[in-house]
Amino acid sequence: MRERWACGHLGVHQMTNLETLSLRGGDWLKDDNLGKLTHHLKQLKLNLYFHPNLEGFRFIAQLAGLQNLKLFTNFREIERMSTSNDEVESRTMLFSGLEFLSHHKCLCKLFLGGTTRKLPVDITLYPPNLMQLKLSETHLEEDPMGILGRLPNLRILKLFERTYVGTKTNCHRGEFLRLEFPQMQQLWSLEDLSVEEGAMPNLKTLKIECCHNMRKFPHGLLQFKKLQRLNLYDVSQELMSEVLKTQGEDWNRIRLIISQTPPP
């Protein structure tokens, strides 16, 4: 059996030949049932809330062959089960067990959704061969670019709704050396994106969608030699006007896509 969607136990731990599994978390995770799928499981999607007696992601540590991991926190379930704000906070710290992913050499795609407030600063805690990272609803309060920019193999970075709740983000020289495709979507508070010379030298496509407060385009970004596509969807008139008034021969090699409505 190659793929399975499960809402409960259903004897999933006995399906030792599974390669892809998508399910809701629950009490059965406490018995290390997920750890029994160590031989073939390559893709895992979990929609879960953390029980107080479930220690982060320890049950994922044994899945040595994992290549694609998606983890989502069920906010409504957390609020329903919790009796205090402190309990909600402790259950929604999605990155609390990220150090257990640092041993996953096969893990190249990671999608995390749920409140975390802060990212781990030490990049050795991240999967060493991570090529694609997607974040959603993490509500980061500090600019994540200085940390994510040091991930050595990152090529695709997608920051979805409320990943970052700050107003400014900066990409410094020497960061994101392999990044080819960054995407920013529904970062409602973001006003200023700054990209220094020497950052993102391999940038090919930049996509900005529904970032309504962003009004300035990063200075000099159009001069990036490898930039091929610039996608702007449902952004402010100020941002579009600034892009359109930019002149130079660089437009001959860049495909500009602008739309007032998000793509389907």
- The model carries a pTM of 0.81
pLDDT at 140: 92
Report the distance separating Cα 159 and Cα 67, nearest Å: 20
Question: How far is residue 148 from each of residues 157, 166, 169, 175, 176, measured CA to CA in Å?
Answer: 9, 16, 12, 8, 8
The partner residues of 159 in beta bridges, in order of sequence, read 135, 184
Q: Tell me, what's the pLDDT at 29?
A: 58
CA dihedral 88, 89, 94, 96 (to 10 degrees): -130
Residue-wise pLDDT for 19-42, tens only, equals 676 666 555 555 555 656 555 677
Q: Are 141 and 118 in contact (CB under 8 A)?
A: yes
Q: What is the pLDDT of residues 45-94, one digit of tens each?
A: 776 654 434 454 666 777 778 888 888 775 444 444 444 444 444 444 44
